Amino acid sequence: MDFDIANPDPAGTISSLRSFGYSVEAAVADLVDNSIAAAAQKVDVAFTWDGASSWVAVIDDGRGMDSAGLVTAMTVAARGTTVERDATDLGRFGMGLKTASFSQAARLTVATTPSGGNESVRTWDLSVVAQTGQWRLLHGCDPASTEVLAALRAPGTAGTVVLWRQLHRFASAPPDSDDAAAQKQFYSEVTRVEAHLGMVFGRLLGRRGGLSLLVNGVPVRPWDPFLTANSSVQRLPTEHIPVGAHAVRIEPFILPHPRRLDPAEADLAAGPAGWLDHQGFYVYRRNRLILAGDWLGIRGFRRDERYNLARIAVDVPAEADADWAVDVRKSSAVPPIGVRRHLQRIGSAARTRAVEVLRHRGRIAARSHGAEFIYTWLVSRHEGRIRCRINREHPLVREVLRGTGDTTAAAKALIRLLEETVPVETLRVMHESDTADDPEPFLTSSSDEVAAVADRIFAAFVSQGHTPGEARRRMTLMPPFDQIDGFWRSGN
């Protein structure tokens, strides 16, 4: 069959690669992926302001490459998705270095030295590609870049430096080096990059003796979206869902109510993008985070403040990349049909539990262990309808009902009236979702009013046969006294 050779235009191809939609933090993360694949133990990310000559570099102490390996690494899509990769290789398409770099800079220089070998340097200068219409991968680099490289790494040191010069953000209006506003904007990206790297590589950074990652000399702090070190986190059952020859691991977590965390813990738990944007599934590939909180387009699942505490870890084998449609930027994934029903089932259970925890300030666990005396109200669903009943086993209610004659009859009648007239419709109109305006018991009450109610409850416990110590212990479990300091927390 006759055919034509239809080679793509280099300048047009590069223009397309620039439009992949990388943010600066996602682009830097792609470079860190390459460092990890090269067995680097330490990776430094450097942002240096110099007006229009500002630059960004990623420096690692990995195994480096010889000149042939460097040319392959600098070639667009030299290694496709079918190439077998090392267990530490976080790549997939063989395009991350180029697409990430072309999205941020017009000049990409890579200097690399293998252990015991010689340094190799290659440069992509997009202006040269555009002018010549050829994929001219330049040997060496310009004098200014040579000076920067010399400052970043000692001669003969094994590892790799990736350097971005001629940053696109300054192309249309090059700033002077003394432009304070432009400098502030440039360094504001450092904070975003640091937070993003801590999120994406949190598992790798959290390991003892694992990866050391710094941004402008500051160690990146790993972010654990599941607060696994917090004893109040609820872990739902882990499941392994088979997908072809591999299995997907799914583990749901329900975080504590924010009011059970101190301000610093709550701020950290919210994550870089805040509570609302970090609910949902967290898709990992070889312990590298691909998606940081997303409901994966599952029907009926949408972001809502009621589900802020639901976070679900999904570990996808690297061999299942194609099934999950992981993109070039490693920032999106689409679950295969065979997994979606399981994700919907597991996600529904996690969302339901998250709503319960948010509504009841994280006291669902205490209820499940059967302390009948704790709650004033008992809420259940009966024949498809919500039913609210006052807890007759609450010590104060029991004490009222222990009266005699007309007093008991009046108390029973009052309790039934309260149960049948719960203002649900009014509450729904005023307070559709669980937010920061949730009512707090005794918020506007004086300490004397709180103490008066507490005294009556304590007296009720004692009159019903409990020792004073047992009465105080039970009160520390009872809302709202479990969150209020008072005599019940003392040993006297």
Residues 145, 49: one domain? yes
The domain that contains 214 carries what CATH number? 3.30.565.10
Q: Does a structural domain hold residue 224?
A: no
pLDDT at 402: 79
Q: Does a structural domain hold residue 3?
A: no
Tokens 């202006």, located at residue: 127
pLDDT class for 144, splitting at 50, 70, 90? very high
The Cα–Cα gap between 135 and 264 comes to 51
Residues 117, 143: one domain? yes
Tell whether the model's pLDDT for residue 148 goes beyond 50.
yes
**Mean pLDDT computed over every residue of the chain:** 84
pLDDT at 11: 80
21-57 burial, b at 16+ Cβ within 10 Å, e below that, comes to ebbbbbbbbbbbbbbbbbebeebbbbbebeeeebbbb
Which of 121-125, 275-279, 403-407, 447-451 has the least mean pLDDT?
403-407
Q: Does a structural domain hold residue 49?
A: yes
Residues 303, 426: one domain? no
- Does residue 83 or residue 481 have the better pLDDT? 481
pLDDT at 437: 53
pLDDT at 53: 94
The count of domains in the chain is 3
Give the domain range for residue 25. 10-219
pTM over 0.85: no
Residues 211, 309: one domain? no
pLDDT class for 12, splitting at 50, 70, 90? confident
pLDDT class for 439, splitting at 50, 70, 90? low
Q: Does a structural domain hold residue 385?
A: yes
DSSP string, 220-251: PPP--TT-TT-TT-EEPPPEEEEETTEEEEEE
Residues 308, 353: one domain? yes
Strands 246-254 and 234-235, bridge-based pairing: antiparallel
Tell whether the model's pLDDT for residue 361 goes beyond 70.
no
Residues 80, 194: one domain? yes
Residues 455, 432: one domain? yes
Q: Does a structural domain hold residue 282?
A: yes
pLDDT digits (tens, 9 = 90+) for 68-106: 999 999 998 665 544 454 544 444 435 679 999 999 999
pLDDT at 89: 45
Tell whether the model's pLDDT for residue 414 goes beyond 50.
yes
* pLDDT, mean of residues 406-423: 73
* pLDDT, mean of residues 13-25: 80
Please say which residue of 157, 188, 219 terminates a domain: 219
* pLDDT, mean of residues 354-380: 63
Q: Does a structural domain hold residue 185?
A: yes
Tell whether the model's pLDDT for residue 492 goes beyond 80.
no
pLDDT digits (tens, 9 = 90+) for 115-139: 989 999 999 999 999 999 999 999 9
Tokens 């059967």, located at residue: 370
pLDDT class for 158, splitting at 50, 70, 90? very high
Q: Does a structural domain hold residue 364?
A: no
348, 343, 345: which is closest to 283 by C-alpha? 343
Tokens 């387009």, located at residue: 297
Please say which residue of 330, 359, 388 terminates a domain: 359
pLDDT at 440: 66
pLDDT class for 297, splitting at 50, 70, 90? confident
Residues 102, 251: one domain? no
- Does residue 406 or residue 453 have the better pLDDT? 453
Residues 156, 21: one domain? yes
Residues 254, 189: one domain? no
Q: Does a structural domain hold residue 298?
A: yes
- Does residue 366 or residue 286 have the better pLDDT? 286
pLDDT at 91: 46
